Amino acid sequence: MWTAQWVLPFAFLALCAPLGIFLAVETSPGQIADEIGHIAKAQSVLDGQWLGRRETIDTSAGKRLQQGVDAEPGVMVVASEPSPALVTTEHWNALGAIPWGKRAFLAIGTIAGYWPGFYVPAALALGLAKAAGASPLYAFLSARVANLVVYLAMATAALAMARRARALLFCSLSMPMALSLGASVNQDGLVIAASALGIALLTRPRASGPSFVRREGARIGAALLLVAVALAKPPYLPLAGLLLLPLPRLADGSSWAGRIALVALVAVAAVGWTWVTVHFVATPVVRPPEMAGPLWPGPRPAEFPGTDMAAQMSVLMAKPVRFLTLPWESIRHDDFMLEEAIGVLAYLSLFLPAWLYAVWKVALVSAAAADTVERRDDAEVLPVWQAPIPLLCALTALIAIYLAQYLSWTTVGDRHIVGPQGRYWLPLFPAVAFALPSLWRPTALGAALTAMPLLACAADLFAVPGVVIRYFYMH
């Protein structure tokens, strides 16, 4: 049993650490989603600015109130790589020669209001690299590596601590997209790892003893991780509902009180931070003037200079059923989301070989089957009638993600929600794993099914480096 428990953690490190280091170093600077803004945010956290601010600046549309942070522009210039076609030895040397600049206001959009917790590793790496005399380029790469180390540590801990659903957890942490984000300055990688570790803790049975902390220690740890996830990305707040599981008996008042208190802690923290950012940092997304879409209930013609959250809310409130139908129709028509979650790298422009997507799809099904046929005596197993609750939490979070993109990014009154990406689904995969039933004790069948995710990771080591090199350096 001990050997089986540690197979996946060791396999994860052996297969994913080398590929993660490769992606951190060889992916062109700034060619992972939103790294330009994330590196500026990390630098502002290093300087003690935990919350961004607003400032009126000149834009192509005139003077506009923008949200941003105060940071040195050197690392942001490094991360402003416009095209992978420019990655040559001469260009790389030019990036290495970029100096540190003077601290100034940098507009970085909604990232300015993000919770700073997941930026601490990158911020510390930036500070240490600068103190050692490194240029902004190598400070930037140091920040990536620091995030990767933390990602690998949290992911390995999740696989080691989980008492069931470990094969699907392994997949959610080792797919190319998750690993690419973990090896970047983008906070999404650490959000994925924190979600997996928090839910892994919930698979552990309660310890005996009179102390609430002793009995509920793993649940308290899970609550702290899920509050970090909700602070970083408020639409993931519904995952806090997992803290209630398995539901106590109705007569067990103390258990209900403790678990409701943990959920309330997560909710108050996430809602409170969102209120602060909306009232003190957030500004409308600047975009070319656009005419209102077909769902706009107000007078026409109506032109909006950017996404108007109040106007979008009026679209939803005109027919409240749209809170469900708009996300559902968008999800139904976003038929490439699974491939994006598996791995469409760079700015959704670096596609992996078609056969690798097929391998990962088989691996996901195989992992779910492996987790279903593995039952352990030392695991917290949900009663069958409670198994849909994690799926409901994940679905509610997914709907919240789409609604957030509608309110903050989509053209006013549009029928289709613009902005959601496959990477937003990855923190929800552990909740799906938590919902899987456990039917039998470990068998040779379970071990055989678990081998497929390992083969998929091995295929990544074979395929991904060549694709990355060709994309960034050879075309």
CA 469 from centroid of its chain's CA atoms: 25
Question: Which residues are CB-contacts of 176 (< 8 A; sequence separation ≥ 6)?
Answer: 342, 343, 345, 352, 356, 460, 464
For 1-22, what is the mean pLDDT?
A: 85
List phi, psi (to 5°) of 440. -135, 170
Q: What is the pLDDT of residues 22-66, one digit of tens each?
A: 999 999 888 888 898 999 999 999 999 999 998 888 766 667 788
* pLDDT in the model for residue 153: 97
Residue in the block written with tokens 């600077």: 29
> Cα separation of 51 and 45, whole Å?
8
Q: How far is CA 26 from CA 40, 410, 425, in A?
A: 21, 33, 25
* pLDDT in the model for residue 182: 97
The candidate with the shortest Cα–Cα distance to 316, out of 400, 243, 423, is: 400
Confidence of residue 212 (pLDDT cuts 50, 70, 90): low
Which of 337 and 445 is assigned the larger pLDDT? 337
For 444-460, what is the mean pLDDT?
A: 88
Q: What is the pLDDT of residues 67-78, one digit of tens each?
A: 889 988 888 888
Q: What is the pLDDT of residues 307-335, one digit of tens each?
A: 788 889 999 999 999 999 999 999 888 87
For the packed helices 2-26 and 444-473, what is the interaxial angle rounded to 10 degrees? 10
For 387-414, what is the mean pLDDT?
A: 92
Which of 214-228, 414-428, 433-447 is least confident? 433-447
Q: What is the pLDDT of residues 227-276, one digit of tens each?
A: 999 999 999 999 999 999 888 877 677 778 888 998 999 999 999 999 99
* pLDDT in the model for residue 92: 80
Q: What is the pLDDT of residues 258-268, one digit of tens each?
A: 889 989 999 99
* pLDDT in the model for residue 2: 41
* pLDDT in the model for residue 291: 87
For 368-397, what is the mean pLDDT?
A: 82
pLDDT at residue 437 above 80? no
* pLDDT in the model for residue 247: 82
> Cα separation of 10 and 12, whole Å?
5
For 300-307, what is the mean pLDDT?
A: 81
CA 304 from centroid of its chain's CA atoms: 30
* pLDDT in the model for residue 94: 83
pLDDT at residue 210 above 60? no
Q: What is the pLDDT of residues 183-195, one digit of tens each?
A: 999 999 999 999 9
pTM of the model: 0.93
* pLDDT in the model for residue 3: 44
Assess contact for 343 and 176: CB atoms under 8 A.
Answer: yes
Residue type at position 466: G
pLDDT at residue 156 above 80? yes
Which of 284 and 469 is assigned the larger pLDDT? 469
Question: Which residues are CB-contacts of 221 (< 8 A; sequence separation ≥ 6)?
Answer: 198, 201
* pLDDT in the model for residue 169: 94
* pLDDT in the model for residue 145: 97
Sign of CA dihedral 77, 79, 83, 86: positive
Domains of the chain by residue range: 2-285+304-473
